[in-house]
A and B are shown apart, each in its own frame.
Chain A
């Protein structure tokens, strides 16, 4: 279960047809639920654990989870992008609940909440 979506935090990027998380997945694994407007993971077994969807979500609604066969439960890794977009702070929580933080320089480019796709009607994005 490499990526989970916290439905309480996901707002579907305000009705966006093509939200950033869907665009950033190199495996075409995220899609929009046409009934709820929220994001769904198509197949956890296809996830590469690369995290662009996690980092790009404005609501921090997508969380990376290590497959249980590889690591014990309750350890978490939460990236927080600084407002200035030139730093990212990774919050690392181990199985005992101890927190460690890593702040690293980067250059996050601004992303639009929606993006048109050539020759595609909005309905084609949904399931």
Chain B
């Protein structure tokens, strides 16, 4: 095993949606600064955008403003968001979308050349090649790309993040990257809970199954403050394929119906917008129908024409091709029968919900020298693709300014050795002992604990104090078991760290869910012992910080600040 030591002014960990835009922005604003992307796969098709996208879902269509966007997102997130963060990202939607269009992304326009709106915040794109397009722009900007290097931990000296350590899944080299400033953009976490499908479809998930919370875990281990993990994302998706439903619900205006044909959202949730209710309610509503014996639940597409059905299939081919094959393989015609839906495994993300690093308006984390963008950054839900781009741009600007003023730091050899021992331990365990725990076995164990005690699909995602305490106790044993994990090759070593990282995420998540004693987001975090929303006590952010020395997780709250006036529970 060799050590590659690299010096770069700015290190970006994760070359996905946010990371690529951050790289371009640094190079454009600060041509004197060098930029390196550390990426666990290959940036041409890594991360959430691998399959493509068929819409930009956070955009200000004519008549909308950053303020109207904040009002909507605040309503959609049940009255609690970081308004400063959502405002600052929405101000950059136009800048980012125009930029990526210039790089070659086809955006659908009318005959006058205006983007075609799909609802208040969406425009349609032909985004099958979206990821290679932004990756090329990052490369053209002069970014050094370390493909297939899995980040394992930050280098922290005197409380400042001064780079990161990773290992190559191609040759096992250890990469020690020294940086003046670091941007974390590794995405959120899938696979913390039991996935919807089993066997050879276990990765048939909506969220990218290779996003396994590395950025969260590195921050948790280093003592960064995290926010809102308890706002899990449990999406309403097409049954079996777990394909996004926005393409159907927004694309052709399909309401939810239960097995009796009743439009239950329109009747039971009329007071909060019916089928346009906040996103958690659009998962909570159908769950109640199923729980009370009125399932299956569908999106009613029977009114659409055969041409509309074809357009629907075309839209899925740009983003989620398996949906189209699924219909053909099951003889389903969405214009003749309604599309059955289900809810997903709980994902931890900062782009749909708001779990992640606690950041200031410049996307600076609580650790000196570290900035966060995209799904890994908290407090700003409804980011989707364009919000992640915007955060990459904001983080790049601030990280660049920080790098101009601060120099490299000498890194103690002991720090590197310690991480080297930790990172490669599963390979050594295999060589020395052969017998041990496979990453997959620990993954299943983790998912079983979370599924059964921390609000998995089997319990309709509901939680209470007693169950969570069992989850906490069982999870507490897992870190002691890490030393038994074995990896036969470098791919398995990556898998080992993917599950280790998810254990840190799960432990933090359970503490967050225990701490928030109310039900603010029904469906996402339904407490059977505190069933109501409680603005008097809980209109604030639940944050956590793990002490790097003791491993104890300290919980705290941070106040909500209203910037945009108006009723927090109204969409306009």
A-side residues, CB < 8 A to B, are 1-2, 23-28, 42, 44-52, 55, 64, 66-67, 69-73, 75-77, 79, 88, 90, 92-95, 100, 102, 104-109, 111, 117-121, 124-125
When distances are taken between beta carbons in the complex, the residues of chain B under 8 Å from A24 are: 42, 44-45, 50
B303 at the interface (CB under 8 A from A): no
Q: Can you list 28 pairs linking A and B with CB atoms under 8 Å apart?
A: A23-B44, A24-B50, A26-B47, A27-B41, A27-B209, A45-B201, A45-B202, A48-B210, A49-B322, A51-B321, A51-B322, A52-B50, A52-B51, A52-B131, A55-B128, A69-B197, A69-B200, A71-B326, A90-B321, A92-B324, A95-B328, A102-B310, A104-B128, A107-B106, A118-B146, A119-B173, A124-B170, A124-B171
Q: Which of B311-319, B412-420, B429-437, B525-533 contacts A (4 or more CB under 8 A)?
A: B311-319
A3–B487 CA distance with the chains assembled, in angstroms: 24
Closest 10 CB pairs of A and B: A71-B329, A75-B329, A50-B51, A67-B201, A77-B325, A52-B45, A94-B328, A50-B50, A24-B45, A124-B171
Selected from A2, A50, A92, A117, the residue in CB contact (under 8 A) with B328 is A92
Is the Cβ of A66 less than 8 Å from the Cβ of B169? no
Minimal beta-carbon separation of B6 from chain A (angstroms):
9
Chain A residues, Cβ within 8 Å of B329: 66, 70-73, 75, 94-95
Contact between B201 and A69, CB atoms less than 8 A apart: yes
A106 cross-chain contacts in B, Cβ below 8 A = 106, 126, 128-129, 318
Q: Which residues of B contact A73 (CB under 8 A)?
A: 329
Contact yes or no, A104 B314, CB < 8 A:
yes
Could you say which residues of chain B place their CB within 8 Å of the CB of A27? 41, 203, 209-210
Smallest beta-carbon distance B216→chain A, Å? 19
Chain A residues lying within 8 Å of B240, measured Cβ to Cβ, are 70
**A119 vs B308: C-alpha distance when bound (angstroms):** 51
- Given that A51-B51, A102-B314 are known contacts, is A107 also in contact with B104, CB under 8 Å in the complex? yes
Contact status B325-A75, CB under 8 Å: yes
Contact of B326 with A66 in the complex, beta carbons under 8 Å: yes
In the bound complex, CA of A1 to CA of B201 (Å) = 8
Tell me the nearest residue of chain A to B205, going by C-beta.
A48
Residue picked from A66, A69, A73, A100, most chain B C-beta under 10 Å: A66
A109-B132 contact in complex given A64-B325, A119-B168, C-beta closer than 8 Å: yes
| B325 near A47: Cβ-Cβ < 8 Å | no
In whole angstroms, what is the CA distance A18 to B493 when docked?
21
Partner of B45, one of A26, A79, A90: A26
Interface string of B318-339 (1 = CB under 8 A from A): 1001101110111100000000
Complex formed: what's the CA distance from A105 to B205 in Å?
26
When the two chains form the complex, which single residue of A67, A77, A125 contacts B321, counting CB atoms closer than 8 Å? A77
Residues of A within 8 A of B321 (CB): 49, 51, 64, 77, 79, 90
Mark each residue of chain B from 124 to 143: 1 if its CB lies under 8 Å from any CB of chain A, else 0: 00101101110010000000
Q: Complex: how many Å from CA A113 to CA B317? A: 25
Beyond A49-B51, A51-B322, A104-B318, 10 additional contacts (C-beta under 8 Å) are: A2-B201, A26-B42, A26-B46, A27-B209, A27-B210, A28-B169, A48-B210, A90-B317, A95-B331, A107-B133
Query: Least Cβ distance of A100 to chain B in Å?
Result: 8
Q: How long is the Cα–Cα vector from A67 to B322 in the complex, in angstroms? A: 10
The CA-CA distance from A66 to B204 in the complex, in Å, is 10
Question: A75 to B208, alpha carbons, bound, how many Å?
Answer: 25
Question: Which of A67, A70, A117 is B148 in contact with, Cβ under 8 Å?
Answer: A117
Q: Report yes or no: A26 in contact with B324, Cβ–Cβ below 8 A.
A: no
CB distance from A95 to the nearest CB of B (A): 6
| Interface residue? B4 (CB, 8 A) | yes
* A95 surroundings in chain B (CB, below 8 A): 328-329, 331
A64 proximity list for chain B (CB < 8 A)? 321-322, 325
Instruction: List, in ascending order, chain B residues with CB within 8 A of A49's CB.
Output: 51, 203-204, 321-322
Per the bound structure, the CA–CA distance linking A1 and B321 in Å amounts to 16
A18 to B314, CA, bound (A): 32
Chain B residue nearest to A20 in the complex (CB): B44
Determine the chain A residues whose CB is within 8 A of the CB of B104 once the complex forms: 107, 109
Q: With the chains together, A76 CA to B325 CA distance in Å?
A: 7
| Chain B residue contacts of A119, Cβ below 8 A | 2, 4, 168, 171, 173
A16 to B122, CA, bound (A): 41
A70 touches B128 (CB 8 A): no
Chain A residues positioned under 8 Å from B205 (CB to CB): 48
Identify A26's interface contact among B50, B129, B171, B325, CB under 8 A: B50
B148 adjacent to A28 (CB under 8 Å):
yes
Is residue B277 contacting chain A, with contact meaning CB distance below 8 A? no
